[in-house]
Amino acid sequence: MKRATPEFVPTPHLDALLDLALAEDLGCGDVTAAALVPAEAMAVMRIEARQRLVLCGSPVVDRLLWRFGPGAPSISWTAAEGDLVDAGTPLARMTGRLRTLLAIERTALNLLQRTSGVATLTRSFVDAVDGTAARIVDTRKTLPGWRMIDKYATRVGGAANHRMALDGGILIKDNHLEAAGGVAAAVKAARANAPHSLRIEVEVEDVAGLDAALDAGADVVLLDNFTPAQVKQAVERAAGRAIIEASGGITLDTVRAFAEAGVDLIAVGALTHSAPAADIAAEIQG
C-alpha cells in the first residue's frame, strides 16, 4: 500500500547545510571538467537505483539545485518520493551544461544515497511490525548537522519522529534520576518546572522503576533493554496508565517480538546511526 509522503519544508538550517555541502565539494571549481569539457556542451544525466530501495531526498536535491543558483541543471523525477523501487529503476533525469552536471553530481548523490538509505532501512522495520499496534520511532542518534534530513527520511520510511531536539520533550534518563534524587522527585520537578505542553517520559531498567514511574504519573515509560517477555509483563502491569516504549538493541530479527508484546512505541537508533547508503548511480546519457 502506498504511504502518504510527509511534507518537506525547507528551512534556513537546511539551506545553510546545502551551501556548506556545495562549498565543500566545489572548492574553487571543477578543474577536471574545465580542462576536458567544452564550456557550452549540454547533456542529460540519468539517475538510477542500483538496488531495491525507498526513494527519499528528491525535494532535498530540488532545493540543492535552487541553492546552486543561475545555471543549475533542471531535474525531472521519474519515480516519486517514498516509492519502493527495484534495482535498475530510473529515478530522475538532470539536464544542463555538462560541466555543471559533473560538478554537482557527487553532492546530489550523497544526499540521495544517505536519505534513501535511511528511508529504506526504516521501511524494513515498519514492515516487520505491520499488523500490530506498535509504531517505530527514531532517536537523536543522527548524523550531526543532518538531523532535519535524517528525521525526514525516517518519516518517508514510515516511522514517527521522537523529539527533534532536547527542547522537544522531557525524557528523564538514569543520569537525570541520579541528579534529581529518584523517579518521584524527578517527575514532580518536571511537572512543576517544565512547559505544560510537554509530555514527561521516564526511562526505566526494571519492574521497580516501571512501578515508580507509573505511580509518579509519567505520561510515557521507556523500557530500556527489556526482553520481549519482560515487555509483555510491563505492558500488562501498566494496564494503560502510560504509553509504553521499548528501546535498546532492537534489530530486524527481534522487532516483531517486541511489537507483539503489546508495546506502543519501539525506538530504533539504527535507523539513522547504522543505515547503509543506498546504491544510486548517475550516468551521462550518450
183-212 per-position pLDDT tens digit: 999 999 999 998 988 999 999 999 999 999
- Segment 223-242 shows an average pLDDT of 97
Q: Is the model's pLDDT at 286 over the cut of 80?
A: no
Q: Cβ distance 25 to 107 under 8 Å?
A: yes
Residue 103 has φ and ψ, to the nearest 5°, of -75, -35
How much is the average pLDDT of 207-226? 96
Strand segments (E) across 168-276:
170-172, 200-204, 220-224, 243-247, 265-267
211 flagged as catalytic: no
Name 74's bridge partners: 95
Question: How is domain 12-124+275-284 classified at the CATH fold level?
Answer: Aldehyde Oxidoreductase; domain 3 (3.90.1170)
Looking at residues 55-84, what average pLDDT do you find? 97
The whole-number pLDDT of residue 178 equals 87
Over residues 245-279, the pLDDT tens digits come to 999 999 999 999 999 999 999 999 999 999 999 99
Task: Identify the sign of the CA torsion 201, 129, 224, 159.
Answer: negative
Q: Are 200 and 172 in contact (CB under 8 A)?
A: yes
The whole-angstrom separation of Cα 108 and Cα 192 is 47
Q: Is the dihedral of CA 125, 126, 132, 138 positive or negative?
A: positive
Which among 141, 188, 199, 241 is annotated as catalytic? 141
List of long-range contacts for 126-134, beta carbons under 8 Å, 24+ apart = 126/157, 126/158, 126/159, 127/158, 128/252, 128/255, 128/256, 128/259, 129/255, 129/256, 129/259, 129/266, 132/256, 132/259, 132/260, 133/259, 133/262, 133/264, 134/258, 134/259, 134/263, 134/264, 134/265, 134/266
- Residues 225, 217: Cα–Cα separation, whole Å: 22
What is the predicted pLDDT for the residue at 3? 73
pLDDT band at 175 (very low <50, low <70, confident <90, very high): very high
Decide the pairing of beta strands 280-284 and 42-49. Answer: antiparallel
Mean pLDDT over residues 166-175, rounded? 93
Residue 101 to residue 224: CA distance in whole angstroms: 48
Catalytic residue among 3, 52, 106, 191: 106
Percent of the chain residues topping a pLDDT of 90 = 94
Give me the pLDDT at residue 4, please: 79
Helix, strand, coil percentages in the chain from 3-state DSSP, rounded to 5: 45, 20, 35
Inform me whether the pLDDT recorded for 2 exceeds 80.
no
- Does residue 1 surpass a pLDDT of 70? no
Q: Given this model, what pLDDT does residue 5 score?
A: 85
- The reply to whether 24 belongs to the active site is no
Strands 200-204 and 170-172: parallel
Cell numbers placing 38: 567544452
Among residues 52, 93, 135, 173, the one annotated as catalytic is 173
Q: For position 77, what pLDDT does the model report? A: 98
Element (H, E) at 272: helix 270-273
Whether 106 is a known active-site residue: answer yes
Cα of 76 vs its chain's centroid, Å:
25
Q: Across all residues in the chain, what is the average pLDDT?
A: 95
Catalytic residue among 48, 201, 224, 245: 224
pLDDT per residue as tens digits for the range 92-151: 999 999 999 999 999 999 999 999 999 999 999 999 999 999 999 999 999 999 999 999
Largest CA distance in the chain: 73
Question: Which residue in 203, 245, 256, 264 is the catalytic one?
Answer: 203
Residue 105 among the catalytic residues: no
- Judge whether 203 counts as a catalytic residue: yes
Superfamily grouping for domain 160-267: Aldolase class I (3.20.20.70)
Structural domain boundaries in the chain: 12-124+275-284, 160-267
